[in-house]
Amino acid sequence: MGRSSAADGLAYQPITEPWDAALQLFRFAGAWAPAPPDLHAGWGARLGDRLVGAVLMERAGTTAMLHGPVVVAPPGMSAEEMLGVAGELTAQALGHAGSAGIETVFARPQGLDRVWIRAGFIPVPEAELPRALRGRPGLGLFGWRGGTALWSTAGRSGSRSALARGEH
């Protein structure tokens, strides 16, 4: 069930298979997205029948990688409102992560540093990525562990990071 915002007319809701609408939005925006079999979950922002924003998630055990958020502004939407849509899509993904047993979420900056920092992400070294999530395009890496800025190569709940496990 989606959640609607009366102020801007957008409805936020999970995206499920088939991923076609979200992947078309990513292609339109020129953003990279993983192949459909690699997708675990996604969330979208709709204005009527039109998908105007999406974020997609790949999962590898207790870690995940976010792709996007991608927001294609409808007429009249300001840059600040677009950042708000990106922030809400990120919040939806992080809410899912907590309930799905995902301890660590990674994301590429994509010029959305403000969105990542507000959501509790911090810059982390590439060596933190597990092998299963390496090789994705982009420079820089942000990581989230329950919204805390506490980060170590020991990981959370006794699990060790990719660096600590020697996966570098």
**What domains sit in the chain, N to C, each tagged with a CATH number?**
3-144 (3.40.630.30)
Binning pLDDT at 50, 70 and 90, where does residue 166 land?
low
The reported pTM is 0.82
Mean pLDDT on 80-91: 94
Confidence of residue 110 (pLDDT cuts 50, 70, 90): confident
pLDDT tens across 33-53, in order? 999 999 999 999 999 989 999
Segment 117-133 mean pLDDT? 92
Q: What is the DSSP string of the chain?
A: --EE-TTT-EEEEEE-S--HHHHHHHHHHT-----GGGEEEEEEEEETTEEEEEEEEEEETTEEEEEEEEE-PPTT--HHHHHHHHHHHHHHHHHHHHHTT--EEEE--TT-HHHHHHTT-EE--GGGS-GGGTT-S-S--EEEBTTB----TT-STTPPPTTTTT--
Kindly state the average pLDDT of the residues 125-145: 91
